[in-house]
Structure 1
Amino acid sequence: MDKPVHPVDKVLPARQMITLGLQHMLVAYIGAIAVPLIVASALKMSQADTIVLISTALFCSGIATLMQTVGFWKFGVRLPILQGVAFSSVGPVIAIGTNPQVGFAGVCGAVIGAGVFTMIAAPFVGRLRRFFPPVVTGCIVTVIGLQLFPVAYEWVGGGRTTPHFGAPLFLAVSLIVLITILCINRYGSALMRNLAVLIGLIVGAGLACALGMGDYSGVAHAPWVTVPYPFHFGAPIFSIVPIATMIVVMIVQMVESMGLFLAIGDIVDKHISEADVIKGLRANGLASAIAGMFAAFPFIAFMENVGVVILTGVRSRWVVAVSGILMCVVALVPKVGAVFASTPAAALGGAGLAMFGVVVAAGVQTLSKVDYEHNRYNVLIVGFTLATALIPVMAPAVFKQMPEWTQPFLHSSVVIACIVSVILNGLLNGLKSSVVHAEHVLDDASQRAIDGV
């Protein structure tokens, strides 16, 4: 009898995969182009160079997504993960790029060097996987969702830069998108439920445009075709200080990525082993090294898309792989990308509330399986982790006086959640409990496989 295919590995019909892949890409697009836009503005790049930076970021995001979803040899965690440019890299990239001694070529060299370091360090960091039992991963998933709420609230209000933030029309559009998604999930067919976010976005965008929202002036100025190619800004410059700076960023991302891999594994009900974590970290390193060659930046999983996975119930990694291909294609046609980028923020607001809310719900679901009755320490672990991990979201100025080298760690809620929960679990429950739990997980996974045969 054939072994049943896990939902993560299931290949859907082509038309369905393309539609669902488009849904993932639309959700991620604004975040994918935000970092290159910020960097280009800070470095005072020309319009032509800005378009190149956006195209290379999208193109390399697609490559990184394919590495993680499809995988090859010892690279890729093989989960429904859409990769995008990490916001934690913005500050260091701007700092390196404004250094007259190295310029943007120094950024490229630093990203390549840090990517190679990540590939080398992946096996050592991956060994920490055993210290992530459900009380830890549950905290991480919950924090991931909570830290995204401010983004959704900005969208609901019409976008950070709008002069009429919070106008009733913006709130109305977001509310209609949210109601549309809820109605489709309640009354729609299975196919419609899978496309609930996409349908909600289309309804919201159509309504917003009818009300005069959205600025499509950038579409006319965007070129039809551009071809990303390596070393557009010249040969990379490898300098010790910029590379060391970017390595710190990559260390933060390795900790964060490991937490994300395990959290997403819990969400899609697939056990992620130490070897899987190492493959995922290795792919992050290789994708970053390639990105450095194309004048792009380090990548990390976009949790917005994990919300889409939860909301639609479609766990196939091949759907997200299709979205990676679509990102590569859109990178070659900036005019199409400009249309996506012009989607009114209010239309994204309702979808954001729905997606980020279900991510929090998934974290709460994991935490509900933790034993609090017989182990009072778990209450302390959850309480202390959530209280500290949300500081960067609710009161970022608290860490303003801390040393400069700690800032990348202290401004990531996921990294704080990982570090605090792992340390508290080790101190209160003992390191041995985590190892024993990992063995039980493996036994349970083996038993499920046997039961499925």
Structure 2
Amino acid sequence: MTAATTTTGTVDDRLPLRRLAPLSTQHVLAMIAAPVSTVFLTATTLRLPAGTTTSLLSAVLVLCGAGALLQSLGVWRIGARLPFVMLPGGAATALFLQIAQDHGAPTAAGSVLLAAALLIAVLPLYARIVRLFPPLVMGVTVLLIGIAMVRVSARLVTGPDGHARPSAVLLAGLTVAATVAAYVLLRGVWRQTAILIGMVAGTLIAVVSGLGEFTPAAGSGFAPPSLLPYGTPRFDLLAALPLLIFSLTTLAEITGQTVLNSETVGRAPDPGRDVPRVARADAAVSLAGGLLGTSLMVTSAENIGIGRLTGVRSRYVTAGAGVLLIAAGLATPLSRALAGIPEAVVGGSSLVVYAVIAVMGVEMLRRADLGGPDDGAGSIVAALALAAGLLPLLAPGMYDGFPAWARTVLGSGVVAGTLTAVLLGALLGSGRRGRSGRDDRDRAVGVVQDGMGDRAHQQ
């Protein structure tokens, strides 16, 4: 049975509570693994205390809920009034952690605020900006982010000295195995929560076998997120460059998501009207996120797949999911329990998350026009961009003798690789065409379709 034969209602239908509640819960179950795994990757990487971890999870869930409400219901010209949910971006989190490790968490928080402000500022130039990031450039960027974060995830298992205990490696491996088993054996919404299931299984294995400890944070009841958990944000344009570039690349993905969602709910796609509204909502919630300790928040596409499966078009379903997420964020017993997950379990789960991101980068490059035997400009651009991006990882001391600003730009694999791809692509005219000559809108839709099935994991 296809989505077309089961589609019911319109995007503006108001459903009775008895139907709205289970449909909204389904959306929450499909995306809950992303904020949970992202928060604990952040907490363990930055060595946050249990209380701060609890506050951060509360903030992320509340922001996810607020973003879903904003995108689904719309306020003025903010939010497209489409059935969207919002998540902490996995790639954005990777860059946030990179900045935090290199320059401190207050600088990372300031970088989020700068990136969100930049996204708002460039929207009048949307049509020109989105052309700078064809699939070739986006593929290079996403692949480099995935590779860099696999390295960071490994440190959660090995510890900062790089020497892991065999028990930690075993626990991380068992967590990966449980995640893979859940993904292979389960179907539908449960399959989309494979990361969360793997974390639960890894924690149970740690407790039963003695390979790790589960120590929830103290406290109970309800509590709001903490304002400025890292202190006053610091603003450094060079340090923020990775997130600034990433905020521009999101315009291409937002375009694809918006067109795909519009077509799913039976509304005529209008990127010129709706993409800026989606981007403004992303930026507004991200500004709040910078003040509450999170990275950039991004509109997610995996709920579009649920819409196609169920045939329910109503945007009030995702608005209901937003209400549930806010309630979960304020119920601190849940977040305090999750704060006790062992680091090796988080490391194993995040290895899967960021390996998936790297593979999605490969898929985007596969979609790009790399040229044939007589025109290999695209291949040259991709090769040199990947080389520029991998050098800081493979030879960390290469730029130690350079000025501080050069070390910041060249020493970030994501920044160096993306800038190389953009500049060479513009110079050589590569990456502008899809394999079948599709326009920018269709290429962006294709990127989303490639990654929609794994969206919950990559975010």
From the superposition, tell whether residues 439 and 365 of structure 1 become closer, same or farther in structure 2 (CA, over 3 Å): closer
SS in 2 for 1:82: strand
SS in 1 for 2:296: strand
Residue of structure 1 aligned with 2:36, choices 22, 26, 31: 26
From the superposition, tell whether residues 371 and 405 of structure 1 become closer, same or farther in structure 2 (CA, over 3 Å): closer
What CA distance in whole angstroms lies between the structure 2 residues aligned with 1:278 and 1:416?
28
Pairing 1:29-428 to 2, within 5 Å after superposition: 29-33=39-43, 54=56, 57-58=59-60, 61-62=63-64, 65-66=67-68, 70=72, 72=74, 73-75=76-78, 82-83=87-88, 86-87=96-97, 90=100, 119-124=120-125, 127-155=128-156, 157=157, 160=159, 165-217=163-215, 219-220=217-218, 222=219, 224-228=221-225, 245-246=235-236, 252-262=242-252, 270=260, 278-279=276-277, 281-291=279-289, 295-297=291-293, 299-301=295-297, 328-369=326-367, 370-373=369-372, 374-406=374-406, 409-428=409-428
| Contact 2:254-2:278 within 8 A present in 1 as well | no
What CA distance in whole angstroms lies between the structure 2 residues aligned with 1:123 and 1:274?
10
Question: Unpaired segments of 5 or more residues in structure 2?
Answer: 12-19, 262-269, 309-314, 447-459
Deviation string for 1:399-423 (max 9, x for gaps)? 3444434555445433333321111
From the superposition, tell whether residues 137 and 406 of structure 1 become closer, same or farther in structure 2 (CA, over 3 Å): same
- Which AA in structure 1 matches 2:159? R
With 362-371 and 182-191 compared, the bigger mean Cα shift is at 182-191
Deviation string for 1:211-255 (max 9, x for gaps)? 3354554522x4533234879999x9xxxxx87x35566664232
What CA distance in whole angstroms lies between the structure 2 residues aligned with 1:341 and 1:31?
11
From the superposition, tell whether residues 277 and 140 of structure 1 become closer, same or farther in structure 2 (CA, over 3 Å): farther
Q: CA deviation at 1:131?
A: 2.0
- Which AA in structure 2 matches 1:351? S
- Which AA in structure 1 matches 2:88? Q
Deviation string for 1:396-449 (max 9, x for gaps)? 433344443455544543333332111111111269x469999724478999xx
| Contact 2:28-2:321 within 8 A present in 1 as well | yes
What CA distance in whole angstroms lies between the structure 2 residues aligned with 1:395 and 1:325?
47
Q: TM-score, normalised by structure 2?
A: 0.67
Q: CA deviation at 1:23?
A: 2.0
- Which AA in structure 2 matches 1:135? L
With 73-82 and 418-427 compared, the bigger mean Cα shift is at 73-82
- Which AA in structure 2 matches 1:381? V
| Contact 1:62-1:326 within 8 A present in 2 as well | no
| Contact 2:24-2:321 within 8 A present in 1 as well | no
Q: CA deviation at 1:315?
A: 8.8
| Contact 1:143-1:414 within 8 A present in 2 as well | yes
Q: CA deviation at 1:165?
A: 4.8
- Which AA in structure 2 matches 1:227? P
Deviation string for 1:118-141 (max 9, x for gaps)? 533443476311122222222222
Counterpart of 2:429?
A: 429
From the superposition, tell whether residues 54 and 36 of structure 1 become closer, same or farther in structure 2 (CA, over 3 Å): farther
- Which AA in structure 1 matches 2:147? L
From the superposition, tell whether residues 76 and 300 of structure 1 become closer, same or farther in structure 2 (CA, over 3 Å): farther
SS in 2 for 1:399: coil
| Contact 1:224-1:334 within 8 A present in 2 as well | yes
The two structures, once aligned, show a CA RMSD in angstroms of 5.1
From the superposition, tell whether residues 329 and 298 of structure 1 become closer, same or farther in structure 2 (CA, over 3 Å): same
What CA distance in whole angstroms lies between the structure 1 residues aligned with 2:153 and 2:317?
24
| Contact 2:137-2:421 within 8 A present in 1 as well | yes
SS in 2 for 1:226: coil
Q: How many equivalent pairs are there? A: 407
What CA distance in whole angstroms lies between the structure 1 residues aligned with 2:184 and 2:106?
49
From the superposition, tell whether residues 332 and 418 of structure 1 become closer, same or farther in structure 2 (CA, over 3 Å): same
Identity of aligned residues (%): 19
Q: CA deviation at 1:256?
A: 0.9
Q: CA deviation at 1:175?
A: 2.3
